[in-house]
A = this chain, B = another copy of it.
Amino acid sequence: MNRKKAILEAALSLLAEKGVHATPMSAIAKEAGTGMGTIYNHFPNKNILINALYVSIKNQEKAVFVAPDDSDPFRTQFEQYYVGAVQFFIDNPLYFKLIEQLQASPIITAESRASGLEAVASVIELIESGKERRIIKAIETPELMQFIGGTIVCYLRWYFQAAKEEKPSLANQLKMTWDAIKQ
């Protein structure tokens, strides 16, 4: 039985669901079916556990951004990234809930944050090539990235709060985002 994994899973579910500050370590231990001390054998303290979870999510997110087929049209490649990111969080709602909480939190260290940025390195590359090819607006890449990321977050917020039967179509979102950034 992999206790470390059990702990991370229990932590994910409780931290995302109840909130970081409403989840005592004892609750995580109970949910993971271990003693509290066991958590501390694997993670020196609560913040480190949370950072580990953050980095683990970001690493999985990274795996989603596989290099798209370069022979595809630019817009197709962009949409693949976009849809990939959205789908990743739709498939893992707890990840989204947790990342939302941690985004602006002082708990996440600069180091964890930096490792999180790696996830989007290949997207940045695509955007910059799009700017060179005059497909994308000539705006600073970080600003574009922030904008695109923002549309994703908002879509997901919207997606998760919407009632089951009326999940908003991703097509609209894609169209708006593309219109926003295209030259």
Q: Which residues of B contact A180 (CB under 8 A)?
A: 151, 176-177, 179-180
- Near B by CB (< 8 A), chain A positions 127-155 give 137, 139-140, 142-143, 146-147, 149-151, 153-155
| Interface of chain A: mostly helix, strand, loop or mixed | helix
Q: Which residues of B contact A140 (CB under 8 A)?
A: 168, 172
Instruction: Tell me the number of copies of this protein.
Output: 4
Q: Which residues of B contact A5 (CB under 8 A)?
A: none
Q: Which residues of B contact A146 (CB under 8 A)?
A: 154-155, 157-158
Query: Quick check: is A101 within 8 A (CB to CB) of the other chain?
Result: yes
A73 → chain B closest CB, angstroms: 19
Q: Give the size of the chain A interface in residues (CB under 8 angstroms).
A: 36
Q: Digit string of A152-183 for contact with B (CB within 8 Å is 1, else 0)?
A: 01110110000000001000110111011110
Are the C-beta atoms of A147 and B154 separated by less than 8 Å? yes
Query: Quick check: is A1 within 8 A (CB to CB) of the other chain?
Result: no
Query: Quick check: is A114 within 8 A (CB to CB) of the other chain?
Result: no
A52 → chain B closest CB, angstroms: 20
Across the interface, name the chain B residue whose C-beta is closest to A153.
B150
CA distance A6 to B147 in the complex (A): 37
Across the interface, name the chain B residue whose C-beta is closest to A103.
B100
CA distance A101 to B155 in the complex (A): 19
In the complex, which of the residues A103, A106, A176, A179 has the most CB atoms of chain B within 10 Å of its own CB atom? A176
Query: Quick check: is A116 within 8 A (CB to CB) of the other chain?
Result: no
Q: Can you list 7 A-B pairs with a CB-CB distance of less than 8 A?
A: A21-B21, A139-B176, A143-B172, A143-B173, A147-B176, A177-B180, A179-B182
Known: A149-B154, A150-B154. 20 other contacts (CB 8 A): A18-B106, A21-B21, A22-B106, A100-B103, A139-B172, A139-B176, A140-B168, A140-B172, A143-B158, A143-B168, A143-B172, A146-B155, A147-B155, A147-B176, A150-B153, A150-B157, A151-B151, A151-B180, A179-B179, A179-B182
